[in-house]
Amino acid sequence: MKLTAIISRNQTFRYIGIIIGCLIASCSINLFLVPSHLLTGGATGIAIIFYYLFRLPIGLQTFLYNIPLLIASYKLLGKKYTVDIIIGTFIFSTCLDLTRFLNAYAPLNDLMLAAIFGGVFNGIGYGIVFRMNGSTGGFDILGAIIKKYYSMNIGAVIFAFNCVVVSIAGFLFGIAPAMFTLICMYVNATVTDKVIGGFNRKKAILIVSDKSRKIADEIINVVGRGVTFLHGQGAFTGNEKNVILVVVSLTQIAKIKILTHSVDEHAFMLIMSANEVMGRGFTEPASTIKHTQLQIEDK
């Protein structure tokens, strides 16, 4: 019963997050992109083109264009995948039309600034939606279908479709808006990745040394980070030794270097980026309970 309550509460927070993300992305489109005659990617980009030509509501169009994709998703990708997309698509489409009044309050007249800020806030909105394990439909569905049946990269497929949309925009409205739209899409994708991966980037460090025990003790006592020993063996010498694995923040890297080289100046260190770290001592993903729920349902 307690687990069910936790899952239900987590689901509520998840959908609140999806609504907030959709609202941010919708406000960005109506504040920065539409007043500057710019586009975004996916089905929304197509809807914006027809809005410029015929003044048809962007949100309603976006939902209608997603219907055939949702039907295809239901048949080819399954019910669970499709239900979440239907919810996300409906919320996003509704937010687009509810925030349409923001067209009259555009804060920028500069195309470059509009493209950059539109991309930033779009990326924040979409990133929150994706981080909550949601989706706004569109070309994401096409990408998932093509990946399943043709083993193609989803990112490449979506990028190709977006290039077609931008090319049509360039033909209809001129090269300049199309070029600024590409800038917006690039910023959008970059910020989305940052939000999904988390801004609390960490570094994973591997240390190979004959004095691994002493180095590990120094890291634990001085830096205050947990250390894991991995079994290692030199390919040339055949000697077995412990390899230290430690995950630290950016500000702790210098300390680790100094401590390591003070113990063993010949120690080998490999420092790698860790986009997101989960578990004891670090953050847990917002979708942890969601995955638990899916496992319970599958059983």
Tokens 């001129």 locate to 174
Which of 228, 215, 282 has the alpha carbon at shortest distance from 255? 215
147-175: pLDDT as tens digits: 777 766 666 777 788 888 899 889 999 99
1-39: pLDDT as tens digits: 555 665 577 788 889 999 999 999 999 999 999 999 999
Identify residue 45 by its one-letter amino acid code: G
- Hey, which of 39-43, 89-93, 255-259, 286-290 has the most confident mean pLDDT? 89-93
Higher pLDDT, 113 or 196: 113
pLDDT of amino acid 113 = 96
CA distances in angstroms from 277 to 222, 249, 273, 274, listed in the order given: 21, 10, 10, 7
pLDDT of amino acid 251 = 78
Q: Encode 162-186: b = buried (16+ Cβ within 10 Å), e = exposed.
A: beebbeebbeebeeebbebbbbbbe
**Residue 208 pLDDT class (50, 70, 90 cuts):** very high
C-beta pairs of 105-114 under 8 Å, 24+ apart in sequence = 105/31, 106/31, 106/32, 106/35, 106/36, 107/31, 107/32, 108/32, 108/36, 111/36, 111/38, 111/176, 111/177, 111/180, 112/180, 112/183, 114/32, 114/33, 114/35, 114/36, 114/38, 114/180
- Domain boundaries in the chain? 2-197, 202-274
Q: Are 217 and 249 contacting, i.e. CB atoms less than 8 angstroms apart?
A: no
Rounded average pLDDT over 128-136: 88
106 phi-psi bin (left φ>0, alpha ψ -120 to 50, beta other): beta
pLDDT of amino acid 94 = 96
Which CATH number applies to 202-274: 2.40.110.10, 3.40.720.10, 3.60.15.10, 3.30.70.120? 3.30.70.120
The H-or-E segment that residue 54 falls in is helix 42-54
Query: What are residue 39's phi and psi, to 5 degrees?
Result: -120, 170
Tokens 């947990």 locate to 226
Whether pTM > 0.85 for this model: the answer is: no
Flag whether pLDDT at 294 surpasses 50.
no
**Residue 284 pLDDT class (50, 70, 90 cuts):** low
